[in-house]
Chains A and B, each alone.
Chain A
Amino acid sequence: MAELHIIGQILGARGFPQNSVFCKWGIHAGGAWRLLSGSREGQTQIDAPQAGEMAYWSHPIDLHYTTKGLQGWPKLHLQVLHQDSFGRCQLYGYGYCHIPSSAGHHRLQCVTWCPEGSWQEQLTQSFVGGGPQLRSPDLIYSGADRYRLQTVAMGMVELELTVILRHFDRHGVEC
């Protein structure tokens, strides 16, 4: 059985309409993969930076997987949310990225998108906030049912991950 370690941080986000954002994250992997240790999902702190446009989370990630097959290589999916001064949360973006399959240090930039409502919905959104959300969050990391969606580009989430592989070469797998 081959082993995969993913160690690093969700650094933070930039390019969102406002600061004071946080992120809910999770890892999705195929059936052949088993998580031995580490947490599969989490939520970062909320950062309101004093200067600059980047919000920093420095959220640690440390995961240990074993696998019997290559299908369903782990994916990290994210939801970026904004918390306003009244404590209300609003969705700012969905995004996902594959965990790199080559060993070593990787700096990733995960693009995000947000569902866009009709113009009536956009109008009410500009006054009272809120906005459409995905009913099933699986859509963040699957391409199956996307064609009905209208979306708009949002900011970028930055990650720094180091990947350690063990015994993949024993099975002749070149990553």
Chain B
Amino acid sequence: MLMATSNPSVFLLMVNGQIETANFPEYDDLYCKYCFVYGHDWAPTSGLEEGISQIASKGRESSHDLVWNFPLEITFKSTNPFGWPQIVVSVYGPDTFGNDVVRGYGAVHIPLTPGRHTRTIPMFVPESTSRLQKLTSWLMGRRPEFTDPKVVAQGEGREVTRVHSQGFVTLQFNIVTKDMKKLGYDTGSAESAAGPSGERQPYVT
């Protein structure tokens, strides 16, 4: 992977990170699933594309966040930034009868610039479209769900969905890219490399 190639045609995107915490004021004992959605030109070269976390409950003392501390490690290769990977996170937990129901879906693009990034993503659940459905889902204790969570990473067909946002998940990313600059792509990484903890790079004019 680290071989020096003079004329590359693909670039690599290495993602190291974690699904750190979640904030759902109304729910507890939650777990999450993640997966990636990416375009045709993209392919994962190593790492896990999907995962399920442990069931976490809120801190008793100081913080009211759930902690998953769940690792993400994956590397992609591509020839074209179009279809840049997105991570889709879905959160589940028991309702009052102990059935697992969905508590939120969310998605965000993997950061495009090298360095350390924190992303807090809003989580939402779909709502029933009719009052009758609302009543039956309340009676049966079954909430509407997306059959495929990957729809939250797509821009098409969203005009028909009504949702209800009810929490946040915080993700941590460390991004390394290889050969993007060689292929002529400018991601403006010079300024973002100087994160809050990193040293500011001297300006070169």
- Residues on A lying within 8 angstroms of B by beta carbon are 5, 7-9, 11-12, 22, 36-39, 42-51, 54-56, 58-64, 83, 102-105, 162-170, 175
Contact = CB atoms under 8 A, between A and B. Distances in A.
B164 A61 contact: no
A68 B70 CA distance: 45
A48 B164 contact: yes
B109 A46 contact: no
Contacts of B122: 11-12, 54, 56, 58
Contacts of B189: 104
Contacts of A48: 127, 162-164
A136 B25 CA distance: 44
B68 interface: no
Contacts of B186: 103, 164-166, 168-169, 175
B184 A167 contact: yes
B109 to A, nearest CB: 6
- A5, A11, A36, A63: residue with the most chain B Cβ atoms closer than 10 Å: A5
A105 B192 contact: yes
B80 to A, nearest CB: 7
Given A104-B189, A104-B191, A167-B184, A45 B159 contact: yes
A11 B86 CA distance: 14
A43 B162 CA distance: 12
Interface residues of B, number: 42
B112 A162 contact: yes
Nearest to B122: A56
Nearest to A24: B159
Contacts of A104: 113, 187-189, 191-192
B154 A60 contact: yes
Nearest to A2: B184
Nearest to B126: A45
Interface of B: 25-26, 39, 80-84, 86, 106-109, 111-113, 121-122, 124, 127, 152-156, 158-159, 161-166, 183-189, 191-192
Contacts of B84: 5, 7, 62
Contact of A60 (B107, B184, B185): B107
B155 A7 contact: no
Contacts of B108: 9, 58
- A47, A163, A169: residue with the most chain B Cβ atoms closer than 10 Å: A47
A34 B109 CA distance: 24
Nearest to B119: A160
Given A5-B82, A61-B155, A64-B82, 14 more contacts: A7-B112, A36-B82, A43-B158, A45-B158, A47-B124, A50-B165, A50-B166, A58-B122, A60-B86, A62-B82, A103-B187, A103-B188, A104-B188, A164-B81
A170 B183 CA distance: 12
4 nearest A-B residue pairs (beta carbon): A104-B188, A103-B188, A56-B122, A43-B159
B122 to A, nearest CB: 4
B203 to A, nearest CB: 15
B185 A164 contact: yes
A114 to B, nearest CB: 21
B86 to A, nearest CB: 6
Contact of B159 (A22, A38, A102, A165): A22
A162 B109 contact: yes
A56 B123 CA distance: 8
